[in-house]
Each structure stands twice: as structure tokens, then as C-alpha cells.
């Protein structure tokens, strides 16, 4: 009897373990799950834009010395007519700030462009926030800005570190709308150059990292992107500071990077654009947001067709195909090129040709000084 009980007990344990093994064998991590669609629908993989375009949001960190011929060859394949390098001054981290590498960086980058491809590249300059709050910071920064514009800078790029990371000479967070920056914004208006400003990050980065957060996978794979609710400030605070700047400096043209992180709330973005005719937006890194709401996004593009510019951000030529497909085609249910950015599927907006032309180049030609219009269709 004892042996029978032992055998039965062993059998129960064995069957339980075997059942667990079978169950676990059928499980997989969310990161691994990547089903292939069985839909039979029209498919258009576009590796080249329908019209020549201006990429208003790009970063080329080696501009002073890099081989521009190789870069132009890749641009030609995409039908990119002009690339805007937002990192005109080149930065490194210095004691918690992003400071200028050397005083000749911008001039050397401009020299490389002028010598080889003066009509294919433009640059925005940057300002250093090191020693912000100290006497003379404003005057020094304004002098540098004017010198860079004189040397060919077509605009000013403000990194997201303003409002989140940069601190003044007392160790305090510098708000996006700090009064000490008013003279900078006004000077850009007087110089007739736009300010492309990136403030904050996607709002989900500030939300709890739980099963309800649609950016959970991105935060898991990139934990450095997680923001605490009020450290250093809440998303709402930073965005409101940015909008305060827009309203307070109506004679300056601002380009809100990444659709101002309101691509998931187009009604709110529309209200901002209605209120602030000096504000434009660009589509870098938010194409996945637009592609999952094709009807509302298409209506938005048509209504605000004079206020939207093309931008991509990171220089990965193969990823431009996703942008072309969303903007130009009516394709259905296709993936984004990075799962951790968007695990959902997207749909094409099939924008009208005139709207495409404005997004690809006409709006940029209108607000960025000194661009050669002759190489673009009417």
C-alpha cells in the first residue's frame, strides 16, 4: 500500500511538472510577440519621396570634417533636397551642462558645407546654458547668436534639456520660460530666424510604468527615459512653459519639435495653432502617432497644411520609408520600424499632392531664410 501511494504521489508530481512545462512552453515575453498580418491588402513600400523634401530635423555630429559626398548620395536616394543639421555647434557634457566643444566648430562646419554642397545643407546654431544667471550671460549669448547668423545659421535649435536638465548658477532648474531668455527669443525674431524647440518628452514617460502605460516597452528597453512625476518637473509644467514662450513672443517664429508632443491630442494642438499663428510643428519621431489615427490626422493635415514641416530626427535612411508610406499611401495595418516605439499598426493618410508639397518643402521655404527655391517644383 505504501509503495502504491508513493507511486501515485510521484505520478501526480510528474504530471503537475509536465503540465507546467507545457504551459510555460506556450508562453512568451511581450517583446518577442511580433505576429505577421494575414491581411491581403494593397502594399506600397516607398523608398523615395514623391517630391523633393527638406528634412528640418536632423543631426550630423561630424559636420566639420565628414565626407558630405557619401551623405548626399544617401539623400539623393530618398529624394531629400536639403538637410538641416540642428547640431550646428556640436556639444559635449561639461559639469552637468551641454557646452560648446570649441569656438571654431560652427565655422568649420559651415566651411565644409560651403566648399562642397552649399545648396544641400543648412544649419541651426545652439546656445550654451552654462553659467546661466551670471552677469554677462545674456550679452555673451546674444553676441554668439548674431555671429552665427552672420556666418550662415538659418535658425536656433533648443534641446529638451532646457526645462528638464539645465540648471542656473544657483543649481536651480531653468524653466523654458525663464525671464532671462526673453532677450534670446526676441533677438531671433529681430534676426528673422525660426526657433526649433524641443520641450519635454512623450507624456507617458511621466506616467506609472504599469500595464496601462502604452510606452511600457520603450521604458523597459530604455529605462533612462522614465521620468518621475515632478522630477525635475511635470510634463504639464514644462509644456505650459513652452506655450507661455510662444504666446509672449509673437514676433518670433517657433517650430515645436515632435508636434509639441501633442500628436496624441490633435484637438489640443489645433487650439494652440489657432491661438499662436507664429507656431509651426514638425513630424520627427511621431509618425507612429499619426498613422494610428488616419482619419483625424488627415483632417488635421488638411486644416493646418500651412503649419506642418517634415522632420525625421535620427539619421537612419531605411526608416524614412515609414514616413513616406504614412504620408503618401492609403495602405492599411502596417508596422512601425521600431516596435518599442509603437507596438500598434498604422494606416496611410494618402495626403493630397498640394498638402504633401507644403509639408515636404513649401512651408520650410517660407519660414527659413536663404533657401534656394529654384530646385523645387512650383
Other beta carbons within 10 angstroms of residue 156's beta carbon come to 26
On the question of pLDDT at 9 being above 70, the answer is: no
- State how far the alpha carbon of 198 is from the alpha carbons of 95, 104, 132, 136, 337, in Å: 22, 25, 19, 26, 22
- Which residues in 57-86 are b (16+ Cβ under 10 Å) and which e? bbebeebbeeebeebbeebeebbbbbbbbb
Q: Domains in the chain, ordered, with CATH?
A: 38-373 (3.20.20.140)
Nearest alpha-carbon partner for 119 in 166, 76, 170: 76
Alpha-carbon distance of 59 to 76, in angstroms, equals 17
Burial class (CB in 10 A: 0-12, 13-18, 19+), 350: middle
Per-residue pLDDT reduced to its tens digit, 168-224: 999 999 999 999 999 999 999 999 999 999 999 999 999 999 999 999 999 999 999
Per-residue buried b or exposed e for 294-322, using 16+ beta carbons within 10 Å of the residue's own CB: beebbebbeebbebbbbbbbebeeeebbb
Least confident of 1-5, 231-235, 277-281, 290-294: 1-5
Confidence check: pLDDT of 23 > 60: no
Burial (CB < 10 A; 0-12, 13-18, 19+), residue 107, is middle
β-bridge pairing 334-335 and 308-309: unpaired
What DSSP designation does 123 have? Answer: E
Residue 29: which pLDDT band, with cuts at 50, 70 and 90? confident
Model confidence at 4, pLDDT cuts 50, 70, 90, reads: low
Contact 51, 342 (CB under 8 A): no
User: Which alpha helices (DSSP H) does 66-175 contain, by range?
Assistant: 68-78, 105-116, 137-150
Q: What is the Cα–Cα distance from 78 to 48, expressed in whole angstroms?
A: 4
Confidence of residue 100 (pLDDT cuts 50, 70, 90): low
- Residue 6 has a pLDDT of 56
SS3 111: helix
| Rounded CA separation 266/281 (Å) | 12
From the number of C-beta atoms within 10 Å of its C-beta (0-12, 13-18, 19+), residue 101 rates as middle
The mean pLDDT value for 35-50 works out to 93
Residue 11 has a pLDDT of 54
Whether 97 has a pLDDT exceeding 70, the answer reads no
Distance CA 282, CA 149 (A): 22
Which range has the worst mean pLDDT, 78-87, 92-101, 285-294?
92-101
CA angle 232, 234, 238 (to 5 degrees): 90
Location of C-alpha cell 525635475: 232
Cβ–Cβ < 8 Å for 237, 176: no
Number of Cβ atoms within 10 Å of the Cβ of 272: 18
Reference 57, options 239, 237, 218, 194; nearest CA is: 194
Amino acid at each position: 500500500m505504501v509503495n502504491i501511494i508513493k507511486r501515485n504521489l510521484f505520478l501526480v508530481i510528474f504530471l503537475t511538472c509536465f503540465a507546467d512545462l507545457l504551459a510555460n512552453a506556450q508562453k512568451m515575453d511581450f517583446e518577442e510577440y511580433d505576429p505577421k498580418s494575414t491581411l491581403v491588402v494593397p502594399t506600397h513600400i516607398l523608398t523615395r519621396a514623391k517630391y523633393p523634401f527638406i528634412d528640418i530635423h536632423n543631426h550630423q555630429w561630424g559636420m566639420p570634417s565628414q565626407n558630405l559626398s557619401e551623405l548626399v548620395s544617401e539623400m539623393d536616394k530618398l529624394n531629400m533636397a536639403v538637410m538641416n543639421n540642428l547640431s550646428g555647434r556640436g556639444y559635449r557634457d561639461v559639469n552637468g551642462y551641454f557646452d560648446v566643444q570649441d569656438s571654431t566648430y560652427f565655422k568649420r562646419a559651415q566651411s565644409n558645407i560651403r566648399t562642397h554642397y552649399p545648396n544641400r545643407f543648412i544649419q541651426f546654431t545652439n546656445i550654451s546654458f552654462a553659467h546661466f544667471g551670471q552677469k554677462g550671460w545674456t550679452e555673451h549669448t546674444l553676441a554668439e547668436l548674431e555671429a552665427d547668423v552672420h556666418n550662415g545659421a538659418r535658425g536656433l535649435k533648443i534641446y529638451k534639456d532646457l526645462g528638464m536638465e539645465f540648471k542656473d548658477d544657483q543649481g536651480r532648474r531653468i524653466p523654458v520660460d525663464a525671464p532671462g531668455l526673453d532677450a534670446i527669443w526676441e533677438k531671433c525674431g529681430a534676426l528673422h530666424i525660426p526657433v526649433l524647440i524641443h520641450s519635454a518628452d512623450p507624456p507617458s514617460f511621466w506616467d506609472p510604468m504599469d500595464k496601462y502605460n502604452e510606452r511600457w516597452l520603450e521604458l523597459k528597453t530604455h529605462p533612462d527615459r522614465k521620468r518621475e512625476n515632478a522630477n525635475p518637473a511635470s510634463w504639464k509644467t514644462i509644456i505650459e512653459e513652452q506655450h507661455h514662450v510662444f504666446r509672449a513672443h509673437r514676433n518670433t517664429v517657433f517650430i515645436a519639435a515632435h508636434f509639441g508632443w501633442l500628436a496624441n491630442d490633435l484637438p489640443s494642438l489645433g487650439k494652440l495653432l489657432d491661438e499662436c499663428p507664429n507656431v509651426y510643428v514638425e513630424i520627427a519621431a511621431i509618425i507612429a502617432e499619426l498613422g494610428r489615427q488616419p482619419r483625424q490626422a488627415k483632417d488635421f493635415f488638411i486644416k493646418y497644411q500651412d503649419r506642418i514641416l517634415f522632420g525625421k530626427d535620427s539619421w537612419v535612411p531605411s526608416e524614412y520609408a515609414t514616413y513616406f508610406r504614412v504620408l503618401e499611401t492609403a495602405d492599411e495595418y502596417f508596422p512601425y520600424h521600431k516596435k518599442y516605439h509603437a507596438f500598434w499598426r498604422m494606416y496611410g493618410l494618402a495626403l493630397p499632392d498640394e498638402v504633401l508639397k507644403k509639408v515636404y518643402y513649401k512651408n520650410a521655404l517660407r519660414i527659413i531664410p536663404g533657401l534656394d527655391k529654384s530646385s523645387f517644383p512650383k
